[in-house]
Chains A and B, each alone.
Chain A
């Protein structure tokens, strides 16, 4: 290998490791250990985001965590996030109060392939805390509804108490633009009115034509894998099934090496991948 010269760009870009200050405008407790936050930048923030992207959220002195964007906070430059407390940083975010300041970097990642969904039937399949990243696509679909075929949101949770965005889901299902179906695993006829069981069972109740259907899935990895097997059985093509993958993130810019999944940097090449891309690595234990 002949030694190549090092080419340097004259003007280095703004530091993307430096957070911007955002204030928590509103906080809502969704359910046990899960909160939603509406955050606004203290200085002008031009960053629009693509659905499926994520932010790195910093809590003073505690650290940073990767949080999926669930929507814009009503205005350009504002964000709407839903966070589940699972570790130090997310717990600190959960305990933050309105008017507290967070450090925000991003948005990062490639986002859901909304363009590809044009003219197709769409299945949005969410497991548990996988709903927020999929929720970010809803406004985009509703804005240009005629561009798409039939759209179904299939959402699975463990108990009725775990259902996020109850009000939003209710008004969405009233709207008739998107069919909403919820499955609860642990419930009885008394505690839950709707479907009892796994979210995958809802697929057979959805309206779609497999050859022209695109699927966006987000949830625990085992759930996503089983989902893919089920969808393949329906005849949906591998390249039309998309996962949002998760691993611990640090830099979010494809530099630190932590989020590697095989040769893929989840932060830079993902977090959204087609099943076709990810399949070779998905079934290898501890990859």
Chain B
């Protein structure tokens, strides 16, 4: 749990000692999940040692395009978000809810008590951290509270990496979700690298974060270190060109259900569900009931679901959203508008994944801008 008084505590870790951080996490029994390099992109996987990180790599992202590129230096975190996020581990794609036994005409329901793994997430960006906080609102409060999610979240050790660069698809500044995370983490690292030096400014965000690094060879912070770190964040801000105008955005959507832009995007959208799959806040799921004849046993599973499927919303008479237009409209209006009424905040963290990974390069910031043109109401 983040303790406010620790936010002031900062320390310096030299690059050559970074491996000791990994060791310390392993010693505490954590499985470390962080960015790893696959052949064509940076994804999320297990980190056994620092060499598993995409050292010296960066990425170029555009709508519908992702390219890996070598950096001139050996930065450990010199890239932007990949197509996966913590969501994969905190809200797993498939979970069993219960099993039912049918014996002598009686049904016995046995709830699943899932094994909660101890994960340490290394290299979480501010946008993704905010995404987890958004999912917390859904899965740890009220009637939709999910016990297993709450336990996973409590166990998760979060090490943020403050962004030092941004892609042309990032727009966390517009959404107020970055590039610097101000709290909600156990530790936050700012990687400071130039020709002469390579070190990490560590911000301590919790008691257990402080405890974890207590055995590491840390140095005290000097004024120049703080300035360096501030320049790193400024660089991320300066590189961010994409903007989402969020002024009156809820009213914008609520008064433009039949805006001609929806037809336009419908001609482009291929309803493949990729945006919902890469989005770190999408939370829709469904129930699958299966039966096994041999054991007279049935199971109920929970799995991710996507509002782009035909039968996502239906009545006995058939699908309610049979056109691609209605499904795209549902996804975007939920994400940017209805979400605010439902949970008190936007559903978008400006990570830009939906723009990069859309196979036909649809850009939600452009769609919003287009809605403002010829809008039914002046919502500025």
Contacts and interface: CB of A to CB of B under 8 A. Distances in A.
Binding between chains A and B? yes
Interface of A: 1-9, 12-13, 15-21, 42, 58, 60-64, 86-87, 99-101, 103, 221, 246-248, 250-251, 253-260, 262-263, 265, 268, 280, 284-287
Nearest to A285: B326
B321 A286 contact: yes
Given A60-B291, A257-B283, 12 more contacts: A3-B182, A5-B1, A8-B154, A17-B97, A21-B106, A64-B287, A103-B100, A251-B285, A256-B285, A256-B305, A258-B313, A287-B257
Interface in B27-59: none
A250 B154 contact: no
A103 B300 CA distance: 12
Interface stretch (B64-72, B137-145, B196-204): B137-145
A7 B314 CA distance: 35
Contacts of B14: none
A12 B182 contact: no
A246 B307 CA distance: 17
Interface stretch (B107-115, B163-171, B351-359, B367-375): B107-115
A101 B106 CA distance: 6
Interface string B284-313: 111101110000001010100101000111
Contacts of B138: 255
Contact of A6 (B107, B136, B284, B302): B136
B69 to A, nearest CB: 30
B248 interface: no
Given A254-B144, A256-B284, A256-B305, A2 B150 contact: no
Give the 3 A-B residue pairs with the shortest CB-CB distance, closest first: A61-B291, A255-B144, A286-B326
A251 B144 contact: yes
Given A1-B176, A61-B290, A258-B284, A99 B183 contact: no
17 contacts: A5-B2, A5-B183, A6-B153, A13-B145, A16-B143, A60-B291, A61-B291, A64-B287, A99-B105, A101-B105, A247-B313, A248-B313, A250-B286, A256-B305, A257-B334, A286-B322, A287-B320
Contact of B314 (A64, A248, A284): A248
A246 B315 contact: yes
A199 to B, nearest CB: 19
Contacts of A103: 100, 107, 109
Contacts of A87: 316
A221 B316 CA distance: 12
A109 B132 CA distance: 28
Contact of B307 (A2, A257, A286): A257
Determine chain B's interface SS by DSSP, over half rule: mixed
A276 B111 CA distance: 41
A209 B305 CA distance: 48
Contacts of B254: 280
Contact of B133 (A6, A61, A258, A284): A6
Nearest to A249: B287
Interface of B: 1-2, 97-98, 100, 102, 105-109, 111, 126, 129-130, 133, 136, 138-140, 142-147, 150, 153-154, 175-177, 181-185, 254, 257-258, 283-287, 289-291, 298, 300, 302, 305, 307, 311-316, 320-323, 325-326, 330, 334, 337-339, 341-342, 345
Nearest to A99: B105
Contacts of A1: 130, 175-177, 345
Contacts of A6: 133, 136, 140, 153, 184
A61 B298 contact: yes
A247 B106 contact: no
A60 B301 CA distance: 14
A3 B147 contact: no
A150 to B, nearest CB: 33
Contacts of A4: 133, 183-184
A227 B133 CA distance: 43
Contacts of B185: 3
A92 B348 CA distance: 41
A64 B307 CA distance: 20
Contacts of B136: 6
Give the residue among A62, A101, A260, A263 with the most B Cβ atoms within 10 A.
Answer: A263
Contacts of B142: 254
Contacts of A263: 334, 337-339, 341-342
A250 B286 CA distance: 6
Nearest to B319: A286
A248 B316 CA distance: 9
A247 B342 contact: no
B298 to A, nearest CB: 4
A265 B338 CA distance: 10
Given A60-B100, A258-B313, A287-B326, A2 B183 contact: yes
A9 to B, nearest CB: 8
Contacts of B300: 17
A75 B61 CA distance: 64
A15 B257 contact: no
Nearest to B333: A262
Given A253-B143, A287-B326, A18 B307 contact: no
Contacts of B144: 251, 253-255, 268
B143 A268 contact: yes
A8 B148 CA distance: 12
A192 B331 CA distance: 48
Contact of B182 (A2, A19, A254, A260): A2
